[in-house]
Structure 1
Amino acid sequence: MGSPILAQFFDGLRFDPSSGRAVYLQFADALLLLIKNGKLRSGQKLPGSRDVAALLRLNRITVSKAYEELQMQGWLESYVGRGTFVSSHIPEPAPHVLRHGGTAAVQKKAGFSVTPKPYAEISLVSAELHLDDGFPDPALAPIKELYRAYRNQLTRSGLYHKFGSYSHPGGSYFYRDALSHYLNETRGLKTTAKNVLSVRGTLMGVNLVCNALIEEGDVIVSGVPGWNRAELNFAHAGAKHITIPVDENGLVVDELKKICKKRKVRMVYVTPHHHYPTTVALRLDRRLELLRLANEYGFIIFEDDYDFDFHYKHRPLLPLASADENGMVIYCGSFSKSFSPAFRMGYLVAAENVIEHLAKVRILLDRQGDHILDNAMAGLLNDGTLQRYLRKALPVYEKRRNLFCDLLHRELGDAVSFTIPEGGMTVWTEFDPSIDLEKLAQRALGKGLFLSDGKAHQYRNYHANAVRLGFASSSNEELTKSVAILKGLI
């Protein structure tokens, strides 16, 4: 080997034939690292394969294959009669200090700037017991029926149109048509498939509408307390977010009227059926006034109807969208409460031109949804599986609500106050001001019980010492244990 310096570089290389990676690739990786680190420079001639093989005790073919590998990647250049060289097109590397013995370090911080924006914190439920944000019990969901419907989609004919090509970004026609009939029958809507867009849950629906219909500086109005994740989407879109109060009868629409007289409102976000997080229903006169104001001032009503199917006192109140005669409402729903949050199946319902516009914008984010899952869900809608499941689950959840509220009243009556919810899967529970919810949540987690610390429901001018305590995903025994833990801690 002509150069003693090159010999020094190569002599320090070691290879492990038992590593599962071919030795020639290990040698190629080592050469590449020498080039990237600047030890082998642009235009530098490499020793011949025979010399390298002798020095490293490798087969000459192994060395030749490594050289060929790097030639194909553009790192090396070979000339007949002259030899092999480091590519002349590689720029000189900036000097830097090698770490970890010359191997690449795990990258924890990017070399480019990242501008921080407000994003939601993720809380994962890992405890055995949980008073969550209002999740369903997957043990009650028709998982087997969904599995069979999904499997049928994989085995039936039309494979090219299912798997070999892209489909409509708004969702498969089969699903949108089935969903249209279902929503017309259960919610009093007046739709066709052209009024429906498939999305992967409510949050995607909010994000898509903000991307497609909200410009920087637009005014969005919502109630306080509200849903933090929707509000963060408003901020991310650059909107001016104005909050108005929510009382025992829902959004205080008179406050919205005052804003409309002074400013141009682009959208009002509302959860009228069971307001998030307090679970109160928007009173009928306020519903009608909200629709009237939308018609008068021309703002969008984004109606988030996240748990329509679960109402215990009487039949659910029909959505605002059912009384919308002028196309002012974008209606959003999800099957996450029917099955589980793991299944990302939701929908937007609006005027045809709005759905067409949203579908075009959706392509920028997600070319299309999971049409196989959508079609499987359509099968459950068409054969009545979902409807039968809801009839079965509703009395179970009602009994759990009654037990849970009785436990809260009996065991924690001096420490908490609440109104028994008419529907939904949670109880909005206010704790005595002397109780530190953050510390309570931390101590409960140490006992194997998850509950929110209430931070997500705090605002500059709203400081209720309250959290949502979900009952639907727990059995009667688990609810009893959970309340016993809270009693012991309080």
Structure 2
Amino acid sequence: MQVLSTLLAVEKSDKLPVYLQIANQLTSLIKAGTLAPGFRLLSTRQLAAALNVHRRTVVQAYDELLAQGWLESHTGNGTFVANHLPEVGPVPMVPSGQASDQTLKKAGFQFERLVHLNRPVLKSGTRLHLDDGFPDPRLAPLEELSRAYRSQLLHGNPYMRLGYGDTKGASWLRQELAIHLNETRGLKISADNILIVRGVIMGMHLASTALLRPGDRVAVDSPGWFGANMNFVQAGAEVINLPVDEHGLIIDELEKLCEKEPIRMLYVTSHHHYPTTVALRADRRIRLLKLSEKYGFVIFEDDYDYDFHYLSKPLLPLAGADQAGMVLYCGSFTKTISPAFRIGYLIGPEDFISQLALLRRIIDRQGDQMLENAMAELLQTGVIQRHLRKSVRVYKQRRDFFCDLLKTKLEGKVNFHIPDGGMSVWTKFDDHIDLKKLAANALKHDLYMADGSLTQLADGSRNSVRLGFASSTLEELEESVNIIKDLL
């Protein structure tokens, strides 16, 4: 029986109470078959002496396991491993913690590793960044948002405020969003046309789940957003790439495709094409809507950074000219405030939005009602609108400065067009430059930039990346470009 004390070890400096350490270790020994049913344990006095702990600590551990049914006590005879437990063959002894480490690292069951999900996760981990086109959170109205959020936590009926809400999203936010989107994007929607989601990717996942079946065809522009394609492949759809030129998606190619085979959905970033930033020309927009109505395919319009346009007024979304109810329009506050604030919106016909609200319940009952209502307050009081006007001025200055840096410091190494809007510059590096090596070396200098691996052109060529300018100050942009210049 003295062997038992050698199998147990306690760490008095550990945050877990000692009695629970003892109880957990005894449970593990029983599960492993090391302590068989009917095994007699040391007395509380003996085990306490062996472990150099107070007897009451061992009594607590035994009482815990007696209550859970792992042990049983025979008055006057001692404490035993419960006889009703199934017999488990003893397993080879391994150093403490090693077995549990292995089971945490490698599953004991088989599962399929889905190749289409292999996409690097972007994280904010460097001091300098020419990112995918993110906003600068230093400009965000965080104080106003903080006050509005605190107000939502403290005021009003707590049962309603902190309870379950509408799966479509906070009613107040949907009402304010309808007003805002109608005024800024020429839409004619009501709150019933809006589903609040965590971001564009969630809206796309819901739409793909609801609309796509294995074998359906989804047309996407190429180069395009890998994150969108992941959802379509996950739904079992066949993804068909369509080329893009300086005026956006080539509609003639789409029409040829529709004449040959049916498609279920078209994914398009019409305002600032991802990744090249070009806008879909007006005549192509008209043809696209007519083709959708004629051939019956859904248009998923991802308008990820509509508010940031620097040349005259931005083109209005396809959704505003949709006369047949074929367009789903999706956007978010990710580019308005910061990626950390997960509020997006999916716009569509009322009946379909109601169906998506039912679907949303099985993956995410509702969003953050406090944050949604706080955002509604900022929309109602004009804080968001003022922030957008300020951000557009700042980002335009940064765009101009950054493009001038690329032209003067990287002359002959890069080719680009100054974007009319958005938060990044689609930049083609000289074919002799190894982008993966450049990105890896930049990272050693605390500068993040993409390596081009996720942006391949329809003709198979690459060496182009999005270089985000909005999230960096003028000084940070100059330092970043100087690092690239030195590395080249």
Q: Same fold (TM over 0.5)?
A: yes
Q: What is residue 443 of structure 2 aligned with on the other side?
A: 445
Provide the C-alpha distance between the structure 2 equivalents of 1:369 and 1:336, rounded to a whole number of angstroms.
Answer: 15
Q: What is residue 71 of structure 1 aligned with on the other side?
A: 66
Q: What is residue 370 of structure 2 aligned with on the other side?
A: 372
Corresponding position: 1:384 with 2:382: yes
Within the candidate set 306, 309, 313, 1:308 is matched to 306
Q: Deviations over 1:431-467 (max 9, x none)?
A: 1111111111112222232111010102674313210
In the TM superposition, residue 58 of structure 1 has moved relative to its aligned partner by: 5.5
Letter matched to residue 137 of structure 1? D
Contact 1:404 1:471 in 2 (8 A): yes
Q: What is residue 125 of structure 2 aligned with on the other side?
A: 126
**CA 1:382/1:12 → structure 2, altered by over 3 Å: closer, same or farther?**
closer
Q: Deviations over 1:183-221 (max 9, x none)?
A: 111111111111001111111111121122211111110
Provide the C-alpha distance between the structure 2 equivalents of 1:255 and 1:271, rounded to a whole number of angstroms.
Answer: 17
Provide the C-alpha distance between the structure 1 equivalents of 2:272 and 2:139, rounded to a whole number of angstroms.
Answer: 22
In the TM superposition, residue 366 of structure 1 has moved relative to its aligned partner by: 0.5
Within the candidate set 16, 25, 29, 2:24 is matched to 29
Provide the C-alpha distance between the structure 2 equivalents of 1:91 and 1:362, rounded to a whole number of angstroms.
Answer: 42
In the TM superposition, residue 64 of structure 1 has moved relative to its aligned partner by: 3.1
In the TM superposition, residue 94 of structure 1 has moved relative to its aligned partner by: 4.6
Provide the C-alpha distance between the structure 2 equivalents of 1:375 and 1:125, rounded to a whole number of angstroms.
Answer: 27
**CA 1:16/1:95 → structure 2, altered by over 3 Å: closer, same or farther?**
closer
Letter matched to residue 98 of structure 1? M
Q: What is residue 161 of structure 2 aligned with on the other side?
A: 162
In the TM superposition, residue 399 of structure 1 has moved relative to its aligned partner by: 1.2
In the TM superposition, residue 468 of structure 1 has moved relative to its aligned partner by: 0.5
In the TM superposition, residue 289 of structure 1 has moved relative to its aligned partner by: 0.9
Q: What is residue 182 of structure 2 aligned with on the other side?
A: 184
Q: Which structure 1 residue ranges, 5 or more long, are not aligned?
A: 1-5
In the TM superposition, residue 403 of structure 1 has moved relative to its aligned partner by: 1.1
Provide the C-alpha distance between the structure 1 equivalents of 2:346 and 2:279, rounded to a whole number of angstroms.
Answer: 21
Higher mean alpha-carbon deviation, 177-186 vs 404-413, is at 404-413
What's the secondary structure of 2:79's corresponding residue?
strand
Q: What is residue 139 of structure 2 aligned with on the other side?
A: 140
Q: What is the correspondence of 1:314-353 to structure 2 with a 5 Å cutoff?
A: 314-353=312-351
Provide the C-alpha distance between the structure 2 equivalents of 1:27 and 1:424, rounded to a whole number of angstroms.
Answer: 59
Contact 1:221 1:243 in 2 (8 A): yes
Q: What is residue 94 of structure 2 aligned with on the other side?
A: 99
Provide the C-alpha distance between the structure 1 equivalents of 2:459 and 2:95, rounded to a whole number of angstroms.
Answer: 51
Letter matched to residue 219 of structure 1? R
**CA 1:20/1:313 → structure 2, altered by over 3 Å: closer, same or farther?**
closer
Q: What is the correspondence of 1:207-356 to structure 2 with a 5 Å cutoff?
A: 207-356=205-354
Provide the C-alpha distance between the structure 1 equivalents of 2:445 and 2:62, rounded to a whole number of angstroms.
Answer: 60
Corresponding position: 1:205 with 2:203: yes
Provide the C-alpha distance between the structure 1 equivalents of 2:14 and 2:222, rounded to a whole number of angstroms.
Answer: 59
Q: What is residue 36 of structure 2 aligned with on the other side?
A: 41
**CA 1:147/1:21 → structure 2, altered by over 3 Å: closer, same or farther?**
closer
Q: Which structure 2 residue ranges, 5 or more long, are not aligned?
A: none
Contact 1:224 1:462 in 2 (8 A): no
Within the candidate set 405, 408, 411, 2:406 is matched to 408
Provide the C-alpha distance between the structure 1 equivalents of 2:415 and 2:133, rounded to a whole number of angstroms.
Answer: 18
In the TM superposition, residue 101 of structure 1 has moved relative to its aligned partner by: 4.0
Higher mean alpha-carbon deviation, 272-281 vs 39-48, is at 39-48
Q: What is residue 90 of structure 1 aligned with on the other side?
A: 85
What's the secondary structure of 1:269's corresponding residue?
strand
The CA RMSD measured in Å over matched residues stands at: 2.0
**CA 1:18/1:267 → structure 2, altered by over 3 Å: closer, same or farther?**
closer
Provide the C-alpha distance between the structure 1 equivalents of 2:289 and 2:282, rounded to a whole number of angstroms.
Answer: 11
What's the secondary structure of 2:419's corresponding residue?
coil
Higher mean alpha-carbon deviation, 60-69 vs 419-428, is at 60-69
In the TM superposition, residue 88 of structure 1 has moved relative to its aligned partner by: 3.3
Contact 1:225 1:462 in 2 (8 A): no
Contact 2:241 2:458 in 1 (8 A): no
Provide the C-alpha distance between the structure 1 equivalents of 2:402 and 2:470, rounded to a whole number of angstroms.
Answer: 10
Provide the C-alpha distance between the structure 1 equivalents of 2:6 and 2:466, rounded to a whole number of angstroms.
Answer: 65
In the TM superposition, residue 82 of structure 1 has moved relative to its aligned partner by: 6.2
Identity rate, percent: 52
In the TM superposition, residue 53 of structure 1 has moved relative to its aligned partner by: 5.1
Q: Deviations over 1:2-48 (max 9, x none)?
A: xxxx2322366444445454443233233223212322112334455
Higher mean alpha-carbon deviation, 390-399 vs 350-359, is at 390-399
**CA 1:51/1:403 → structure 2, altered by over 3 Å: closer, same or farther?**
closer
Q: What is residue 110 of structure 2 aligned with on the other side?
A: 113
What's the secondary structure of 1:338's corresponding residue?
coil
Contact 2:34 2:91 in 1 (8 A): no
Compute the TM-score of the two structures, normalised by the length of structure 1.
0.94
How many equivalent residue pairs? 484
Provide the C-alpha distance between the structure 2 equivalents of 1:60 and 1:411, rounded to a whole number of angstroms.
Answer: 75
What's the secondary structure of 2:427's corresponding residue?
strand
What's the secondary structure of 1:145's corresponding residue?
helix
Provide the C-alpha distance between the structure 1 equivalents of 2:482 and 2:48, rounded to a whole number of angstroms.
Answer: 73
What's the secondary structure of 1:25's corresponding residue?
helix
